[in-house]
Chain A
């Protein structure tokens, strides 16, 4: 997370990749989304997905996992330079979330975020509001997942 003043439209960060193993896909699905095509290879093959497919909410939650890890890396680097660390705020929601390609067992998804818009909050003068296009791309280079996220970012000084 950076301060509002240090963010520019178009800034992009690669967040790292994640391998969706069959075990991880099933473990998430058992808890939150036990539709048959998220539970067994056989049911997955019979479905529109063509194989054991991760729940879309699993694909989204892993985006968050890698984004927070990236934030924490950036915060450690900032602190190591002796600079003040920006602590992000919550999110009021998201739009245009698309599960474009199924994420099947063994797929490796590389996540990224790119700043799409930036403005000051009218109600909370100490905060800005950032929109970013967040994506997941599979090992074949196909865009599999995308959404437009919104988050509060702190201003350096008010």
Chain B
């Protein structure tokens, strides 16, 4: 069954994962998109503020996107997102981390400009196996309403 706006009431939505992240993945993403020494070179990373090899924050975002997709977006009538209100990177992504995604719905409302859709504002956070919070994101997503939602209102 496809999830619609009605399936996202404010509150805890779900917990997803774990997703294992290998050193090879971290190096491959960094080589392509963020080739800074702290993401590529163990020795340089040791002397950086991150104190050891760390995945790019953009890699963590991309992995979070995939965890969201596998967790619920794949079965949601989602139409895309206009942006990210805020992303905070608290702690580095490390090689061989096991990541868990916690999803909260902060707000869900019907769209004024497109009444057959709604806007759900999510708070998504990633933690590692030790329970350390690595990042937190607040982002709206456009989601279709149930097919009969409009007729119900009219009728």
B contact residues around A98 at 8 Å (CB): 82-83
Q: Within 8 Å of chain A (Cβ to Cβ): is B86?
A: yes
B69 engages A35 (CB within 8 Å): yes
State the CA gap A48–B142 with chains docked (Å).
Answer: 10
A77 to B: closest C-beta gap in Å: 18
A68 engages B89 (CB within 8 Å): no
Interface class of chain A by DSSP: mixed
A48 engages B80 (CB within 8 Å): yes
A48 engages B63 (CB within 8 Å): no
Q: Which of A68, A99, A124 contacts B36 (CB 8 A)?
A: A68
Interface size on A, residues (CB 8 A): 37
Interface size grouping (class) on chain B: 35 or more
Q: Mark A89-119, 1 if CB is under 8 A from B, else 0.
A: 1111111111100000000000000000000
B56 to A: closest C-beta gap in Å: 7
Interface class of chain B by DSSP: mixed
State the CA gap A16–B57 with chains docked (Å).
Answer: 22
B contact residues around A65 at 8 Å (CB): 32-34
Q: Which of B36, B86, B135 contacts A88 (CB 8 A)?
A: B36
A61 engages B84 (CB within 8 Å): no
Q: Which 10 A-B pairs have the closest CB atoms?
A: A97-B84, A93-B88, A32-B62, A98-B83, A61-B33, A65-B33, A97-B83, A61-B58, A57-B62, A89-B49
20 A-B residue pairs with Cβ-Cβ distance under 8 Å, sorted by A, are: A33-B69, A35-B69, A35-B73, A47-B80, A56-B81, A57-B62, A61-B62, A64-B33, A64-B34, A65-B34, A68-B36, A87-B37, A91-B89, A93-B57, A93-B135, A95-B87, A96-B83, A96-B86, A97-B83, A99-B82
Known: A56-B83, A57-B62, A152-B49. 15 other contacts (CB 8 A): A33-B62, A34-B74, A49-B80, A53-B80, A61-B58, A65-B32, A68-B35, A72-B35, A90-B89, A90-B92, A94-B84, A95-B85, A96-B85, A127-B49, A147-B83
